[in-house]
Structure 1
Amino acid sequence: MTTTPSPVWHPFTQHGLGEPIPRIERASGARLYDAHGNSWIDAISSWWVTTHGHAHPRIMAAIRDQSEKLDQLIFAGWTHEPAESLAAELVRITPDPLTRVFFSDSGSTSVEVALKMALGYWYNIGEARSRILVLDHSYHGDTIGAMSVGERGVYNRAWQPLLFDVGTIPFPYEGQEQRALDALEAACAGKPAAFIVEPLILGAGGMLVYPAWVLAEMRSICARYGVLFIADEVMTGWGRTGTRFACDQAGVIPDIVCLSKGLTGGAIPLAVTLCIEPIFEAHLSDDRARLFYHSSSYTANPIACAAANANLAIWRDEPVQARIDTLAEIQDAHLAMLAAHPRVANPRRLGTIAALDVTAPDSGYLSGLTPRLTAFYRDRGILLRPLGNSIYVMPPYCTGAEELAQIWGAIAASIDTI
């Protein structure tokens, strides 16, 4: 019997390698299931989005209920209750200066919105500021603007002609924090438009962690020079770093903040970009030429907003923080048991995220270790996707102690075996 090849072109997948692609039929809690009864523990929250667990009953019920009332509505000049309620609650739970909520549909687009807000602000108030500052090794998405403010490398080399120039600040490695801060201050003296940063931890850059005091000092430097501070909390938001938002740990209030992934508990795509009032006011006019020119067809989709409202209700009504704290403690214990392994380097944890590096002859994103490790875990019922020779665990908050033991047992076995 001949199997017809799938026409699907998967993201970040080299189909020429012929690697198996499991077909998942359903999911529940921290587990994924295929049609043959096989299951996998989702140890990376399906690309960092699933917070409370797959198919959470409250979120699923909200989606079903909303789908029977209003499925979609143009959001240019029209509105609906799920979006209004969500925006009001987001303003309530974020610091007071963040007063405006702009909807989009993914982390990348929320970053595009943030960059356009920043540049639109300076343009509309009549100041010639257009340069964007970024942190070395950062990642902010795969659309053109988001790629421009991220690390340059093999994953965006083909589109280099389309990317705009940015100012890059060195990553504040331990012992090199002042070097990074001095570089940021020197760059800010040149009056750039904005500085965009992943607060406390760089995700796709290899789960690189830096301390809260550095984030606070970076914010202070930007404030001194009037540089807009953009916090990309797409991955770090909704509890991943141990608090609802990573900026909370540094007492930092951004001028613009990007949220997505866990905004709906990971159930359905949605993103928002929050900003301070002066940015909104710079676009406010009786002149239609000054309006903010950005949208997508599914901006503030009612079903997605309903899912997000259910997520926020879970945060209000359930002991989410306690679950995060427990998960962090268990992660810490497992990481500590591997920390002394001769092939383990730089063990680190921030909130529910735990990571380590495996010493190998080749490292980096294209390390030959990556596909071997991925296959090793897949064959043992674990969904893990190492970043080069960096292995990280970022599970849903419902993940139990036995499931975590299985995940870390597989990691330990892989280090000894491969």
Structure 2
Amino acid sequence: MSLLFKHLRIHQIFGANTDVGKTILTTALVRASASLKNEVFYLKPISTGPIQDADDEHIIRHSSTFKDRVHADCLYRFHVPVSPHLAAQLAAGEESQKIVPDGTFINSIRSYVQRSASRASGPAHMYVETAGGVHSPTLSGTTQLDCYRPLFLPTVLIGDSRLGGISATISAYESLLLRGYIVDAILLFRDDYYRNSEYLTPYFAERGVAVTATDPPPPKASDAAETFASTERYYENLDILPTVRDLNTRHEERLAELDSMPRRSLDAFWWPFVQHGLVKGEKDVTVIDSASSDFFSVYNSQTTDKKSSLDAQLDSSASWWTQAFGHAHPALTLAAARASGRYGHVMFPQATHAPALELAERLLDGPGKGWASRVFFSDDGSTAMEVALKMALRAYSVRNNLRGIERKKVGVLGLKGSYHGDTIGAMDACAEEGVYTCEWHNAKGFWLDPPTISIQHGRPVIALPPALAASDTMCESDVASDSESWVYDVAGRLQTPLAEVYRDYISRTLDGLHSARGVPRLAALVLEPIVMGAGGMIFVDPLFQRILVDVVRARDESPATEPGSWRGLPVIYDEVFVGLYRLGMQSTIPLLGATPDISVNAKILTGGLVPLATTLASDSIFRAFYGPDKAEALLHGHSYTAHALGCEVANESMKLIEKATQSEAWLAAQARWQEPGTRNSVWSFWDPEFVQTVSSMDTVAEVMALGTVLAIKVKDSGAGYVSQSAQTLLQSLKVTDSESPSEVPDFSVHFRTLGNVAYFMTSLNTAPETIRILENKIWNVLQNSD
């Protein structure tokens, strides 16, 4: 949600420390900008201390020559000369709710900048001066670097010319870089004793940043008039115009770069999951200049001078389901830097390092608690599923004494609509009628058509596939329920008539497969628990999946095995999409009431920052590879297996998850879904009344929501993955709403569809007010289409 104007060049002024001359040098920049006949805006968001010492007052006093072109303002003024967070606390007294939250603070700056852009009659400059050092706190206590980050304004860093200033300046610069800031220039005073500028100039030249050293201001005189006169003479003799011109050039170069990116991208990229024949031209290319929290800042070349060229766009697919805490979360960024600085990358076979070991132990005590004994690391969800398949098929082959060509003829049992990744082995574990195929794809197994769950006209409905409905004359094709909590009460439904229908159907189908031609010997059960994501956000009846696991394990034809080892077929849970609270639960295992033998996690595992995946396995699976012969080992690995950077980020992500699950937003969302007289095991960040309302709209076939996920299936006679109906129906979400409440910055919505299914996804910490705005946008579009 950053700002970039064609006619208003903005720079934010940060200091390497307090009392390094930010206001003195900013005043020089203001005067130099005004001398070029530009209108100049100066903003001090927070000021503490007496009014006569205020920085904006200094700007006004020493820009009187250009008073018709210079405008100076302060948004939050406190008269106590202390840190802003303390000044805010003292002003609020006992009423802590009066302290201005970060969102309100940033929105007030954004509104001021937008008003200034509208006010400017021609080319203009703006300087936003911070307080103290880069990590000095703002009103809420958040450090400035993190608080100001959503604005993503290009930066001028004022270096420290005093003793220790070299270190302070470099540290401040690196802190800015760690949060993605663009540092366009460094200014500091010249000091003939410490001579910091002599060191810093070549140091930063190697990093592409120019350093400008100026004479320091004259000392204050005892007489105020003399102080003013000497300071005026100082400014008149200070030549800082080259820096201002360089800042102007940087601004123009940034705009030119953004302008050129669509054409260059069309010439360079082969995008995933994109039919290039449908890309009409540069206007179809989304240019993401930066990202923060749940939003992209998207470049719009068609804006007028009065409007920012960067539009806020909500990342409502959580960047392909990876985001857990929004983009550019500082804790995750610092975790990555910490591990990168300590290790870089080190190879992993028969080695260990702290981040990997800590993560493995976390997972074994988390989603793997009570059943898993080992963690195997890999690159992403697809490769982790390849590992899981290797584990399961080897375990089955060893137990059943399969050798040679017999091992190559085994397959998997799964569900239609499943998807486990785009590598060849993962594709082979999916039905051939899926769209995620290639010339080498060779489906190896059998896939059952599962019953699904959705909300239709305000009620949960279990839809049975034709084969299952026809298997019992007493069973309807749709089974309605008054309670979603009942649908997901798997333990309570195990003895219901529908459960018996499921058991009978699965048992008879598996009996028939023994004599079926063209079906390989089944050696593993592979499931996406609860929701099959890429197949179309298919919410599977969890009772069906639980009974499938039970039936498979009850049909154990293997020789006698040790207690606790896998039975029937090794069971794999692909939790790449659904795991680690994407559905509001750490794992789907407690809801299903059945543990797997192997499970896979990725995506949320690292909070969406870097690729990393894990395959958890039970001890009996591990033992299938254990022995004196190296050929019996799991000979699988990746160059970046258990890379320290990813493991450290994952550990930080797990800590943030634990904190999020105890937040007020989570508790409030869970309470909204709580049904009277029940202990609801499922809930969603999406409002239940919104879900029910949308499910009754004429253009909507069904809706489903769990945790962060909302799926809306559009009525479409030609439904399927290649359908454009959902994309077409909701296309206007990609346009900003001019009638959005003024206190909330407007945003468009970046969303993706799976045929006639549109899905929307929050992070684990998306602000409730953002979700409510998105719900309103979706409802308005659907209502207008009815």
**Which residue does 1:409 correspond to in 2?**
776
- CA drift of 1:118 comes to 0.8
Tell me: CA distance 1:125–1:267, structure 2 relative to 1, closer, same or farther (3 Å): same
- 1:379-398 pair list within 5 angstroms: 379-380=735-736, 381-398=748-765
Q: Any conservation in 2 of the 1:133–1:167 contact (CA below 8 Å)?
A: yes
Q: TM-score, normalised by structure 2?
A: 0.50
Q: Any conservation in 2 of the 1:325–1:351 contact (CA below 8 Å)?
A: no
Tell me: CA distance 1:51–1:320, structure 2 relative to 1, closer, same or farther (3 Å): farther
Tell me: CA distance 1:257–1:157, structure 2 relative to 1, closer, same or farther (3 Å): closer
Q: For 1:45, give the aligned amino acid.
A: A
Q: For 1:147, give the aligned amino acid.
A: M
**Which residue does 1:9 correspond to in 2?**
270
- 1:97-176 pair list within 5 angstroms: 97-128=371-402, 130-153=410-433, 155-159=435-439, 161-173=440-452, 174=462, 176=464
Distance in structure 2 (CA, Å) of the matches to 1:33 and 1:302:
30
SS in 2 for 1:38: strand
Report which stretch shifted further, 268-277 or 239-248. 239-248
- CA drift of 1:316 comes to 3.2
- 1:84-95 pair list within 5 angstroms: 84-93=357-366, 94-95=368-369
- CA drift of 1:320 comes to 5.1
- 1:19-418 pair list within 5 angstroms: 19=280, 20-34=284-298, 36-93=309-366, 94-128=368-402, 130-153=410-433, 155-159=435-439, 161-173=440-452, 174=462, 176=464, 181-186=503-508, 188=510, 190=514, 192-225=522-555, 226-319=568-661, 323-324=665-666, 326-327=668-669, 328-373=684-729, 375-380=731-736, 381-417=748-784
- CA drift of 1:185 comes to 3.0
Q: Any conservation in 2 of the 1:358–1:415 contact (CA below 8 Å)?
A: no
Q: For 1:46, give the aligned amino acid.
A: S
Distance in structure 2 (CA, Å) of the matches to 1:364 and 1:210:
17
SS in 2 for 1:193: strand
Tell me: CA distance 1:153–1:44, structure 2 relative to 1, closer, same or farther (3 Å): same
Distance in structure 2 (CA, Å) of the matches to 1:399 and 1:318:
10
Q: Any conservation in 2 of the 1:241–1:353 contact (CA below 8 Å)?
A: yes
- CA drift of 1:295 comes to 0.9
- CA drift of 1:131 comes to 2.2
- When Rg is computed on C-alpha atoms for both structures, the one with the higher figure is 2
Report which stretch shifted further, 243-252 or 325-334. 325-334
Distance in structure 2 (CA, Å) of the matches to 1:382 and 1:296:
36
- CA drift of 1:52 comes to 2.1
Q: TM-score, normalised by structure 1?
A: 0.92
Q: Any conservation in 2 of the 1:141–1:150 contact (CA below 8 Å)?
A: no
- CA drift of 1:224 comes to 1.3
Q: For 1:277, give the aligned amino acid.
A: D
Distance in structure 1 (CA, Å) of the matches to 2:634 and 2:437:
31
CA RMSD in angstroms comes to 2.4
Distance in structure 2 (CA, Å) of the matches to 1:370 and 1:330:
19
- CA drift of 1:337 comes to 2.4
Unpaired segments ≥5 residues, structure 2: 1-258, 300-308, 453-461, 465-497, 515-520, 556-567, 670-683, 737-747
Q: Any conservation in 2 of the 1:167–1:187 contact (CA below 8 Å)?
A: no
Distance in structure 2 (CA, Å) of the matches to 1:187 and 1:280:
30
The percentage of counterpart residues that share the same residue type is 30
Q: For 1:140, give the aligned amino acid.
A: H
Distance in structure 2 (CA, Å) of the matches to 1:375 and 1:341:
18
Distance in structure 2 (CA, Å) of the matches to 1:81 and 1:329:
35
- CA drift of 1:41 comes to 0.9
- CA drift of 1:245 comes to 1.1
- CA drift of 1:351 comes to 2.4
Q: Any conservation in 2 of the 1:148–1:164 contact (CA below 8 Å)?
A: yes
**Which residue does 2:244 correspond to in 1?**
none
- CA drift of 1:107 comes to 0.9
Tell me: CA distance 1:11–1:221, structure 2 relative to 1, closer, same or farther (3 Å): same
Distance in structure 2 (CA, Å) of the matches to 1:410 and 1:239:
25
Distance in structure 1 (CA, Å) of the matches to 2:395 and 2:697:
51
SS in 2 for 1:257: strand
**Higher RCO, 1 vs 2 (CA within 8 Å, ≥6 residues apart):** 1
Report which stretch shifted further, 188-197 or 348-357. 188-197
Report which stretch shifted further, 234-243 or 212-221. 212-221
Report which stretch shifted further, 224-233 or 146-155. 146-155
Q: Any conservation in 2 of the 1:29–1:398 contact (CA below 8 Å)?
A: no
Q: For 2:696, give the aligned amino acid.
A: A
Q: Any conservation in 2 of the 1:95–1:253 contact (CA below 8 Å)?
A: no
Q: Any conservation in 2 of the 1:362–1:368 contact (CA below 8 Å)?
A: no
Distance in structure 2 (CA, Å) of the matches to 1:353 and 1:385:
13
Tell me: CA distance 1:10–1:78, structure 2 relative to 1, closer, same or farther (3 Å): same
- CA drift of 1:153 comes to 3.8
- CA drift of 1:368 comes to 2.6
Q: Any conservation in 1 of the 2:417–2:434 contact (CA below 8 Å)?
A: no
Unpaired segments ≥5 residues, structure 1: none
SS in 2 for 1:313: helix
- CA drift of 1:172 comes to 1.9
Q: For 1:379, give the aligned amino acid.
A: V
Q: Any conservation in 1 of the 2:582–2:764 contact (CA below 8 Å)?
A: no
1:18 corresponds to which of 279, 294, 314 = 279
Aligned length: 417
- CA drift of 1:84 comes to 0.9
Q: For 2:725, give the aligned amino acid.
A: L
Tell me: CA distance 1:208–1:156, structure 2 relative to 1, closer, same or farther (3 Å): closer
Q: Any conservation in 2 of the 1:172–1:180 contact (CA below 8 Å)?
A: no
